[in-house]
Amino acid sequence: MTRRMLTEDGLIRIIQRTVKRRGQVRLGIGDDAAVLKDGTVVTTDAYAEGVHFDLSYMSLRAVGERCACGAISDVVAMAAEPEALFVSLSLPRPPPGARCAPGGPAAATRELYRGIESVCAEMSCEVAGGDIIVADRLLLAFTVTGRTRAPRLRSGAQPGDRLYVTGCLGSAEAGRMVLAERAGNHNRSPRPGTKNGRSSLVRRHLRPVPRLAAMKALRHSIHGLTDTSDGIATDARHISEMSRVRIELEADSLPIEAATSRFCAQRGLDPVDFVLGAGEDYELLFTTARRVPAEVSGVRVTAVGRVEKGRGLWIRRAGLTLPVKVSGYDHLGSMLGKTCD
Amino acid sequence: MTRRMLTEDGLIRIIQRTVKRRGQVRLGIGDDAAVLKDGTVVTTDAYAEGVHFDLSYMSLRAVGERCACGAISDVVAMAAEPEALFVSLSLPRPPPGARCAPGGPAAATRELYRGIESVCAEMSCEVAGGDIIVADRLLLAFTVTGRTRAPRLRSGAQPGDRLYVTGCLGSAEAGRMVLAERAGNHNRSPRPGTKNGRSSLVRRHLRPVPRLAAMKALRHSIHGLTDTSDGIATDARHISEMSRVRIELEADSLPIEAATSRFCAQRGLDPVDFVLGAGEDYELLFTTARRVPAEVSGVRVTAVGRVEKGRGLWIRRAGLTLPVKVSGYDHLGSMLGKTCD
């Protein structure tokens, strides 16, 4: 019996070995979502207070928005249009003898659902059901269904394709760090310049936008598709592994907002390393053999690499081609720590 | 601002007022499951350690079985055949410096999924996806999808129907209480007679069986349908309210196992009151205008009441007809306590 780091991928392999396929499902565990026999796309995503969001600087409405965006993005990342959303809500138990307060369970439920509903309205999606339980802290588990005639998978990339990403990388993570620093420093005077250009980063953390319109405009030419939920290093690696291709990223092409570059410079962070591992932008990451315009449905689209025969994820930087070692942050692995096989 | 008991139904009304219908869903919040435009049935159900199951007397495999049964039963209670199951799993964080142990996160995940898979195998259902996070305690949120050409709803009961239930009432709750008592008394010598005939009750708590075969045999003649997840008083009231009919239960007809009657007698409990409020048997509760045989697909079926014009839930007992006041246990309300509007 050995002790080693247990990763999310490791737990998924355990589950895949334990359950059996029985022909009820066209595409099961392993992509952004499953595809049922009739083409219905289904995804499930869970979020916990203190792990995936922080109530010290987020309102409950923002939590509802942010988590709904993340879950809906998984359906968009299958080239499907979101249809219905289901919420399993675990509310924290009120302290014994708690008095009426605006944060009570009825008000909390209303605020969370206002956030969820505002995202659903934008995505033509409908809250269709759910369950509510009481436990120790706020947890939300979302299921989103969607429709598509032709799902696009992580396994669809082909040698000769170019790799594209919508929007900018790293903005959401930089925004999260700005908010966390502000919350930590709220009793001190602000550092000079800390608010310059930061609001776009903060907005991208609090309210990511699933790229539904861009996906609909592009889907017919897309080969391989996922969203940048774990950071482009991990997400591009998923495409590379599942499509059994070599992907080479171009460091100078990675789209990084000026505010993110300034954020990195102030903290002595290398901006390329930072965005390789920065997750939760929920941008589309896709491969196609066609040329894609620099803007689609009002969203910037950037070629960031190419797909070739071979294996592995590489990055071309300052004239050198190196294997990508930076990984996205494994929330799960870091919290489980070392464990037994 | 008033303080009053917040109930699960109260929270559902808040949610219904907050979200909007936009024609994506045929049947939304309010029944055992939702029905999408193409007829796909979807339900979401959450379970927390210490609220819905107790690890002091249940193995992780039994937890997986029991929770999967409960979630799948909601799809069966729409007259649909289960198709795919999705699990959002929240694992408890291991204590700092914890050593390798059989209960570690990898082993726990494997055992939970073995239980889930064993139920799926029986129901021709397939585990098709999920998510795993780490939080304070074990929580499972299930989504189950199913297929039916003609869903049967809580709102389908018609005056002139008879009300039927499969199996026996109260067995699962009696079984749960037996297990909890044994766990509390494990250091003392057993009470004489405490194990007589109890194993069937315990089995019914640990491993309820969604009544898929009976539903398939009966569905063409069923009008109104739900499952007994909250206790027949609450579940029959749901049919009565949503069908806008009067339902009269017949106390002497309620099917109660001999072991449950003995269990009640030993504790001075009135068996009719006990079974009216005892949930989680996951039996079919349905109304039909046809006569139903006493056994269908190997399962006992009992006429327990009739559907009439009017409103409300009533019980005929010892020559008197009285309104049913006993309600199922509101897990949620009891944990939230009094709260503000």
pLDDT in tens, B93-135: 876 665 555 568 889 999 999 999 999 999 999 999 999 998 8
Pairing type for strands B299-308 and B295-296 reads antiparallel
Determine the pLDDT at residue B15: 94
Residues of chain B contacting residue A144, judged by C-beta atoms under 8 Å apart: none
**Under 8 Å CB-to-CB from B152, ≥6 apart: which residues?**
B78, B79, B219, B222, B223, B224, B225, B286
Nearest to B125 by CA among A120, A53, A36: A36
Contact residues, A window 137-156, toward B, CB-based 8 Å cutoff: 137, 139, 141, 143, 145
Residue B142 sits in the same domain as residue B158: no
d(CA B307, CA A12) in angstroms, rounded, equals 49
Interface ipTM: 0.90
Would you say residue B12 lies in a domain?
A: no
Number of domains in chain B: 2
Residue B169 sits in the same domain as residue B303: yes
Burial of B247 (0-12, 13-18, 19+ CB in 10 A): buried
Would you say residue B19 lies in a domain?
A: no
**Rounded mean pLDDT of chain A?**
90
Query: What average pLDDT does the segment A289-306 reach?
Result: 97
Specify whether the CB–CB gap between A174 and A261 falls below 8 A: no
Has residue B261 got a pLDDT over 50?
Answer: yes
Where among A147, A178, A196 does a domain terminate? A147
> B30 is written with which tokens?
């309010």
Where among A95, A113, A147 does a domain terminate? A147
Determine the pLDDT at residue A213: 97
Pairing type for strands B299-308 and B162-166 reads antiparallel
Residue B101 sits in the same domain as residue B197: no
Specify whether the CB–CB gap between A32 and A154 falls below 8 A: yes
pLDDT one-digit tens code per residue, B18-60: 999 988 899 999 888 999 998 999 999 999 998 899 999 999 9
The 10 Å Cβ neighbour count of residue B220 is 11
Would you say residue B20 lies in a domain?
A: no
Q: At A103, is the pLDDT very low, low, confident or very high (cuts 50, 70, 90)?
A: low
Mutate: best of A4, A47, A88, A120, partner B, most B CBs <10 A: A88
Would you say residue A110 lies in a domain?
A: yes
Residue B180 sits in the same domain as residue B158: yes
Residue B325 sits in the same domain as residue B196: yes
Range of B218's domain? Answer: 154-334+336-340
CA triple B232-B333-B238, angle to 5 deg: 30
Determine the pLDDT at residue A270: 96
Q: Name the DSSP letter for residue B140.
A: E
d(CA A235, CA A326) in angstroms, rounded, equals 12
Determine the pLDDT at residue A98: 60
Give percent of chain A above pLDDT 70.
88
DSSP 3-state assignment of B106? helix
Provide the shortest C-alpha distance from residue A243 to chain B (in Å): 20
Provide the shortest C-alpha distance from residue B64 to chain A (in Å): 12
Q: pTM for the full model?
A: 0.91
Query: What average pLDDT does the segment B187-197 reach?
Result: 48
Residue B164 sits in the same domain as residue B290: yes
Distances (CA, A) of B57 to B71, B170, B182, B184, B191: 21, 19, 8, 10, 18
Would you say residue B7 lies in a domain?
A: no
Asked if A14's CB is within 8 angstroms of B42's CB, the reply is no
B92 vs A72: which has the higher pLDDT: A72
Q: At B137, is the pLDDT very low, low, confident or very high (cuts 50, 70, 90)?
A: confident
pLDDT one-digit tens code per residue, A151-173: 999 999 999 999 999 999 999 99
Contact residues, A window 30-49, toward B, CB-based 8 Å cutoff: 33-34, 36-38, 40, 42-48
d(CA B63, CA B109) in angstroms, rounded, equals 11
Provide the shortest C-alpha distance from residue A18 to chain B (in Å): 6
pLDDT one-digit tens code per residue, B11-28: 889 999 999 998 889 999
| Domain harbouring A100, CATH code | 3.30.1330.10
Determine the pLDDT at residue B326: 65
Residue B158 sits in the same domain as residue B306: yes
Q: Which residues pair with B340 in a beta bridge?
A: B3
Mind giving me the DSSP string for B57-78?
Answer: T--HHHHHHHHHHHHHHHHHTT
Asked if B130's CB is within 8 angstroms of A106's CB, the reply is no
Give the lowest-confidence range in A10-19, A289-298, A314-323, B252-261.
A10-19
Residue A136 sits in the same domain as residue A261: no
Where among B147, B171, B201 does a domain terminate? B147
A101 vs B327: which has the higher pLDDT: B327
Residue A213 sits in the same domain as residue A323: yes
Residues of chain A contacting residue B113, judged by C-beta atoms under 8 Å apart: 14-15, 18-19
Has residue B185 got a pLDDT over 80?
Answer: no
Residues of chain A contacting residue B84, judged by C-beta atoms under 8 Å apart: 24-25, 34, 36, 42
Query: What average pLDDT does the segment B235-259 reach?
Result: 97
Would you say residue B139 lies in a domain?
A: yes
Residue of A nearest to B81 (CA): A24
Determine the pLDDT at residue A212: 97
Calculate the CA B104 to chain-centre distance: 30
d(CA A254, CA A324) in angstroms, rounded, equals 14
Determine the pLDDT at residue A326: 65
Provide the shortest C-alpha distance from residue B235 to chain A (in Å): 16
Determine the pLDDT at residue B307: 98
Residue B166 sits in the same domain as residue B223: yes
Contact residues, A window 64-103, toward B, CB-based 8 Å cutoff: 83-84, 86-91, 93-94, 98, 100-101
Specify whether the CB–CB gap between A208 and A63 falls below 8 A: no
Q: Which H/E stretch holds residue A205? A: helix A199-206
Residue B159 sits in the same domain as residue B60: no
Give the lowest-confidence range in A5-9, A49-53, B142-146.
A5-9
Residue A47 sits in the same domain as residue A118: yes
Query: What average pLDDT does the segment B173-185 reach?
Result: 90
pLDDT one-digit tens code per residue, B204-218: 999 999 999 999 999
Burial of B268 (0-12, 13-18, 19+ CB in 10 A): exposed
Residues of chain B contacting residue A104, judged by C-beta atoms under 8 Å apart: 339-340
pLDDT one-digit tens code per residue, A195-253: 545 688 999 999 999 999 999 999 999 999 999 999 999 999 999 999 999 999 999 99
Burial of B340 (0-12, 13-18, 19+ CB in 10 A): middle
Residue of B nearest to A30 (CA): B129
| Domain harbouring A250, CATH code | 3.90.650.10
Nearest to A84 by CA among A52, A125, A51, A27: A125
Burial of B291 (0-12, 13-18, 19+ CB in 10 A): exposed
d(CA A38, CA A242) in angstroms, rounded, equals 23
Distances (CA, A) of B125 to A54, A76, A324, B116: 37, 25, 39, 10
Determine the pLDDT at residue A188: 53
Amino acid at B108: A
> A113 is written with which tokens?
């659902």
Asked if B340's CB is within 8 angstroms of A106's CB, the reply is yes
Q: At A30, is the pLDDT very low, low, confident or very high (cuts 50, 70, 90)?
A: confident
Would you say residue A4 lies in a domain?
A: no
Determine the pLDDT at residue A310: 97
Would you say residue A177 lies in a domain?
A: yes
